[in-house]
Structure 1
Amino acid sequence: MTREEQFNDHVSRVKVKSRHGNKVQAFCPCHNDKHASLTMTMGRKCTLIYDHAGCCKEDIVRAMGMQMRDLFYDTEPRSPNWRAYVEGREQRRIESVYNYVSINGAYAFTKIRCEGKKILYGRMENECFIYGLPRDTPRKSYKAIYGSLQAINKAIAENRPIFIPEGEKDADTLIKQGYTAFAYGGVNDWQSDFATLVQGADVYILADNDEAGKRVAEIIQNDIKVLFFRLKEH
């Protein structure tokens, strides 16, 4: 996971009042906080937390379901050499890197977007980017999304809405604003199994304003409705 992804994971464990870039004001999980006294900041090596009401940092981290060492970023991969290799091979600059997870939460694959709208798929192994996916394992068979299952489940438990934009960039923008969101890749990548992730949630589908976008939005809406009625029958 990147530093940003790990910071977002830490933020997902508390109730956020406001967020401005990499600084979050949240309600402390250690006391009956009515003033959002907890400040969380994405540092260079770790997430910095401070409670203005005086709660102990160790107690706050424990209440978040973490240990102190979990505040430190363990980026994947640790070395930047793989980026230099990919950029040298492609003769293009890497614009963004997205790590996808399967609907059971396991790491699935990495999607890299390079200059010129070139997309690469592969896996991170031993701090290296391995080009491509196994031929006998089609990308859709991973049933993978770009997002945090933990954040999705937490939002549902707290009756907060889930946003489903069409692209990863939009998902990142929403998450940085304090919302819960996940992306599924593109108009041809949605799978009906993804609907199970938002069972019991209020869902906002944010599709591109074109025919393909409207079509996939309708498919997503129908899949969620079908799941709802199946649950009602039981």
Structure 2
Amino acid sequence: REGMRAMGLSDKVRFIWASDLVDSGEYFTTLIKLAKHTSLSRLRRALPIMGRVEGDAEKDFSMYIYPIMQVTDISVMNIDIALGGMDQRHAHMLQRDIADKSGIKKVSAIHGPLLGSLKGPGRMDAAPDGEIVKMSKSDPDSAIFIFDSEASIRRKLSSAFCPMGEVKGNPVMDVARHIIYPYYQKEFMIHRPVSKGGDFVYNDYDELEAEYIANRVHPMDLKAAVGEVLVEMLGPARSIYEQYEEEMRDLGYTSQ
């Protein structure tokens, strides 16, 4: 919570703990009532919200419970607008389907883009249905955490998947497009040797993309520049987590 506020989240935002919802007394009653308005086959289609394919649940039935829990969360909190990544659309569409049958309020949904895994769309970890392989907390080297150390951020970006001249499926370009250009308040400069054209400021993402596709920006220069900007942008949150380093370590969260 404090880390998110350090990044600019309004103090007016109210945080609700999942444990408080579940212990409220009405949660599981609501879950059972809502579950009566869907089917096993419909829940199976919602499984990709967990980054799983439908067949995975044949070995672990608890996976079927998770989608209906997300629908229950929306109902118990009386949410009007559900905000999430594109991977959450399956759960939100399930809620809307159940709302049609049960008479509960149908939620409106807003979905934002996902950042691709820093390891790239490897064949062994390809997502189902052609979806993006996203950053994941279960694989620390695939993601940038807001409490990562400066050295960790630089290391992860240095080894990130960043194919020359390719934008689609390029996680470093994803960060530039969705994080740096919308929220960084300064010029985005790529430092290069004079022999390679010298330092250059890219005023908007489209300009950077065109130059990258034309092979006029080297992947290592791009990764270094993106890494330095992330180090700066995440500084306020990192300083908060440094105050709770021992508690974070006890919870299993460490900067890699």
Common fold by TM > 0.5: no
Q: Larger % of strand: which?
A: 1
TM-score, normalisation: structure 2: 0.25
Computing the radius of gyration from Cα coordinates, the structure with the larger value is 2
TM-score, normalisation: structure 1: 0.27
